[in-house]
């Protein structure tokens, strides 16, 4: 048996979108599952629309998702593989050779129809509501004299494939099963334009042969191209690869997913918005394939072990932004706190005053640990932790904090002042940006559940809790009421980590100052 060889063949005419990434991934996974090779081929024959920028974006997108190729364009080194070049524009001689052979054998012919004639033909077919819209074979059987006359007029020919007429072609698709297509539906398609630049279906077949491709997985919009390609393989006396045409990705309404649908981004945009790449990878894998009935979260290796093309669904998969975000949260929570700090670092750094991050490593770890359960995207970090770094002592309240604060407004000044005195008399760690490494080094947050047994050199959240509860009991304040104005004063929001972690992270001076500032502002109302 020949070794399995699969390829992803993007046209560098735009960014890598979800559909392209999924096609790449399924080819990659099948190549890995079968122990074969995965090849990256760049179909850059549309010179008007192909750009180097798009190419770089596609390469970066694949790398970000961890889809690596065995053969293809160089990434910071020599191109890999012995079947290159892997850019179609560098393979023009090969196409020329094959086209000459096909013209000589009669499978291809020169067509001198002008763009004007072709446009008229199309209008006329549309006007009479013809079931067939396409080329009418006008130049199929030109005599040498007729050809010479056209050449003499200065007309330059396209080269078309001579489709077998009225033949039922049986296609075996790995996803759709056996399908029959009558060639009457398909016209004599253009293989090469004047100037020697090939068109997609032709170049694709020459390259699939040249690169020894055994399986082709691609979007179902290419299904009829597959029929054309199969006939060209036949004309060249070659065995076609096995085709698998995967269904479209759909939007929530069941229509074809478009980049205008909510939450639909290109792969690198997801990167730039702080989506973890493992989560995006995992989510894309599920757009048409399932790992198991009861598990949606799996690793790359698990996917490769389990992947079978026959288990890709026939129905289109719906893009579900909520599920993608849920998946992101699952991955964030899987990381150790240290891993999460590493991932969050680039997001947090701009939110912190310059140069402070390195000196406050342990504090940062505690901050990140408090939010690991609460974020899905890394980009949420700066906003979520903004209250910690706020310069204002009297924080603006968000709507939730305002509402909850107002419920207890009549007691707020008294409670906050009293509590500020309690904290002032406590052994809270110093406030950032003072050095609090001893405190943060000894206390692991979030700490209510698993505080270390060793004593911290300061009040840890458990000690803060004991002092807080003693205070509220002594004053007869319901704890469930007390937390609202206190949280509002300390963070400006009604959400976030446990209250004692909040107090611990803020440190003494800041916590006390914020409580008093709000108490003063209420008193002044």
Distances in whole angstroms, Cα of residue 190 to Cα of each of 46, 99, 125, 150, 160 = 14, 11, 19, 18, 4
* Shortest distance (Å) from residue 113 CB to ligand GLU: 26
Q: Which is nearer to ligand GLU, 204 or 303 (CB)?
A: 204
CA distance 4 to 33: 10
Closer to ligand GLU by CB, 38 or 504: give it.
38
Tokens 């892997």, residue located:
86
| Window contacting ligand GLU (CB under 6 A); options: 3-11, 126-134, 168-176, 239-247 | 3-11
44 lies in the binding site for ligand GLU (CB under 6 A): no
Pairing, β 37-40 against β 317-318: unpaired
The verdict on whether omega for the bond into residue 490 sits within 30 degrees of 0, i.e. cis, is no
| Closer Cβ to ligand GLU, 204 or 285, answer by number | 204
Least distance in angstroms from the C-beta of 21 to ligand GLU: 12
Among the listed residues 4, 5, 9, 50, the single contact to ligand GLU using CB under 6 A: 9
- CA distance linking residue 521 with residue 518, whole number of Å: 5
- Compute the least distance from the CB of residue 198 to ligand GLU, in Å: 12
Give residue 358's region: left, alpha or beta (phi > 0; psi -120 to 50): alpha
Q: How many chain residues bind ligand GLU (CB under 6 A)? A: 7
CB of 57 to ligand GLU, least distance (A): 14
Task: Pick the catalytic residue from 238, 259, 308, 323.
Answer: 259
State the SS3 of 298-354. Answer: CCHHHHHHHCCHHHCCCCCEECCHHHHHHHHHHHHHHCCHHHHHHHHHHHHHHHCCC
The window from 8-16, 276-284, 390-398, 506-514 that contacts ligand GLU (CB under 6 A) reads 8-16
Nearer to ligand GLU, 48 or 131 (CB): 48
Question: Minimum Å distance from CB 201 to ligand GLU?
Answer: 9
* C-beta of 11 vs 158, nearer to ligand GLU: 11
What part of residues 345-384 is at the interface with ligand GLU (CB under 6 A)?
Answer: none
Query: What is the maximal distance between C-alpha atoms in the chain?
Result: 110
Q: Residue 524 region, left (φ>0) first, then alpha (ψ -120 to 50), else beta?
A: alpha
Sheet with 108-111: list strands edge to edge: 108-111, 158-161, 190-192
Among 4, 10, 12, 446, binds ligand GLU (CB under 6 A): 10
H or E element, residue 509: helix 508-524
> Among residues 220 and 234, whose Cβ is nearest to ligand GLU?
220
Please identify, using beta-carbon distances, which residue of 230 and 491 lies nearer to ligand GLU.
230
Q: Rule CB under 6 A: is residue 12 a binding residue for ligand GLU?
A: no
Stretch of 9-17, 116-124, 317-325, 448-456 lying at the interface with ligand GLU (CB under 6 A): 9-17
Q: Under DSSP, is residue 106 helix (H, G, I), strand (E, B) or coil?
A: coil
436 binds ligand GLU (CB under 6 A): no
73 binds ligand GLU (CB under 6 A): no
Minimum separation from the CB atom of position 45 to ligand GLU (A) = 9
Spatial contact of 499 and 370, defined as CB atoms under 8 Å apart: no
327 φ, ψ to 5°? Answer: -60, -40
| CB nearer ligand GLU, residue 266 or residue 493 | 266
In SS3 terms, 71-102 reads as EECCCCCCCECCCCCCEHHHCHHHHHHHHHHH
Minimum separation from the CB atom of position 245 to ligand GLU (A): 10
Using CB under 6 A, which of the segments 6-14, 65-73, 308-316, 385-393 binds ligand GLU?
6-14
Site for ligand GLU in 297-336 (CB under 6 A): none
First to last CA, the chain: 84
CA–CA dist 357, 348 (Å, integer): 8
11 interacts with ligand GLU by CB under 6 A: yes
H-type alpha helices, 398-478: 399-407, 409-424, 437-442, 447-450, 461-475
Give backbone dihedrals phi and psi of 518, rounded to 5 degrees, phi first: -70, -40
180-239: which residues touch ligand GLU (CB under 6 A)? 204, 218, 222
Is residue 61 a contact residue for ligand GLU (CB under 6 A)? Answer: no
Annotation marks residue 384 as catalytic: no
Say if residues 405 and 484 touch (Cβ distance below 8 Å).
yes
> Binding ligand GLU by CB under 6 A: which of 21, 39, 43, 175?
43
Q: Minimum Å distance from CB 320 to ligand GLU? A: 24
Active site residue ranges: 259
Footprint of ligand GLU (CB under 6 A): 9-11, 43, 204, 218, 222
């Amino acid at each position: 048996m020949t070794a399995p060889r699969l390829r992803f063949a993007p046209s560098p005419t735009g960014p890598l979108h979800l559909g392209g990434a999924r096609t790449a991934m399924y080819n990659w996974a099948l190549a890995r599952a079968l122990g074969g090779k995965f090849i990256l081929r760049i179909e850059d024959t549309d010179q008007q629309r192909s750009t180097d920028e798009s190419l770089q974006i596609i390469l970066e997108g694949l790398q970000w998702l961890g889809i690596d190729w065995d053969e293809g364009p160089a990434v910071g080194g020599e191109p890999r593989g012995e079947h290159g070049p892997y850019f179609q524009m560098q393979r023009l001689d090969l196409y020329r050779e094959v086209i000459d052979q096909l013209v000589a054998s009669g499978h291809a012919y020169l067509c001198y129809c002008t763009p004007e004639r072709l446009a008229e033909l199309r209008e006329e077919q549309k006007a009479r509501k013809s079931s067939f819209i396409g080329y009418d074979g006008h130049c199929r059987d030109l005599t040498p004299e007729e050809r010479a006359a056209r050449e003499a007029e200065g007309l330059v020919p396209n080269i078309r494939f001579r489709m077998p007429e009225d033949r039922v072609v049986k296609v075996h698709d790995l996803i759709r099963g056996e399908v029959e297509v009558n060639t009457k539906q398909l016209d004599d398609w253009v293989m090469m334009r004047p100037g020697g630049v090939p068109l997609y279906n032709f170049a694709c077949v020459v390259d699939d042969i040249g690169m020894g491709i055994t399986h082709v997985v691609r979007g179902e919009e290419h299904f009829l191209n597959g029929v054309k390609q199969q006939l060209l393989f036949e004309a060249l006396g070659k065995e076609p690869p096995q085709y698998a045409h995967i269904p479209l990705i759909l939007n929530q309404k069941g229509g074809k997913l478009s980049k205008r649908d909510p939450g639909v981004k290109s792969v690198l945009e997801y990167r730039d918005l702080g989506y973890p790449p493992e989560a995006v990878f995992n989510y894309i894998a599920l757009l048409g394939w399932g790992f198991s009935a009861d598990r949606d979260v799996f690793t790359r290796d698990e996917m490769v072990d389990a992947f079978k093309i026959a288990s890709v669904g026939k129905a289109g998969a719906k893009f579900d932004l909520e599920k993608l975000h849920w998946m992101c949260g699952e991955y964030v929570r899987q990381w150790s706190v240290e891993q999460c700090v590493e991932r969050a670092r680039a997001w947090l750094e701009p939110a912190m005053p310059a140069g402070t991050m390195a000196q406050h490593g342990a504090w940062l770890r505690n901050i990140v640990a408090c939010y690991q359960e609460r974020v899905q995207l890394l980009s949420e970090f700066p906003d979520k932790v903004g209250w910690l770094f706020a310069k204002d002592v009297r924080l603006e309240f968000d709507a939730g904090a305002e509402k909850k604060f107002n419920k207890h407004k009549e007691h707020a000044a008294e409670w906050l002042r009293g509590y500020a005195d309690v904290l002032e008399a406590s052994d809270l760690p110093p406030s950032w940006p003072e050095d609090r490494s001893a405190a943060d080094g000894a206390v692991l947050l979030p700490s209510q559940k698993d505080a270390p047994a060793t004593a911290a050199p300061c009040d840890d959240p458990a000690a803060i809790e004991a002092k807080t509860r003693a205070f509220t009991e002594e004053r007869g304040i319901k704890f469930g009421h007390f937390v609202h104005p206190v949280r509002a004063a300390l963070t400006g929001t009604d959400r976030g980590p446990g209250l004692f972690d909040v107090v611990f992270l803020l440190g003494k001076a800041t916590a006390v100052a914020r409580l008093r500032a709000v108490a003063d502002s209420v008193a002044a109302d």
